[in-house]
Amino acid sequence: MASGNASDFNQGYETKLKNELGFDYDQYEHLKFKDVFGQNPYNRKGNFRRKDLNFKDILKFNRRGKRGINDINIALVVMYLNAIEHNTDGIYYPVLSNYHNNADTFASYLYSQTKDDPAQAGIEL
């Protein structure tokens, strides 16, 4: 859990997020990566996969909770799920307000930021 800093950018609220282990995979089985992010998920080489994946399959890929070079898809999905659950289930994700509290706008932004170097983005996220 992260918290607001001394500037109180969260208006006194703590930023609360879940990682991939905190979501009910079955609840998101219907969501497809391409439907949310506009392109197919990345493969291990940073190129687009030939086929789309649903969120459940992406989340189940890494149950250890570790992140690395090949985990950009997991990072994107987790950030999107935190955005759509903002203000529910204990999640408070204030960065969403920068995107008019619209999770789809946030998803488009996130994906656009990974296109140049998906592997590095996977490490950083």
Q: For the segment 52-73, what is each residue's pLDDT rounded down to a tens digit? A: 999 988 887 665 555 555 688 9
Strand partners, 48: 42
* CA separation for the pair 92, 79 (Å, rounded): 12
Predicted confidence pLDDT, tens digits, the chain (125 residues)? 444 444 444 455 677 888 777 888 888 889 999 999 999 999 877 888 899 999 988 887 665 555 555 688 988 999 999 999 988 888 888 889 999 999 999 999 999 999 888 888 877 87
Give the CB-side neighbour count of residue 82, counting CA atoms within 13 A. 24
The full set of domain ranges for the chain reads 20-124
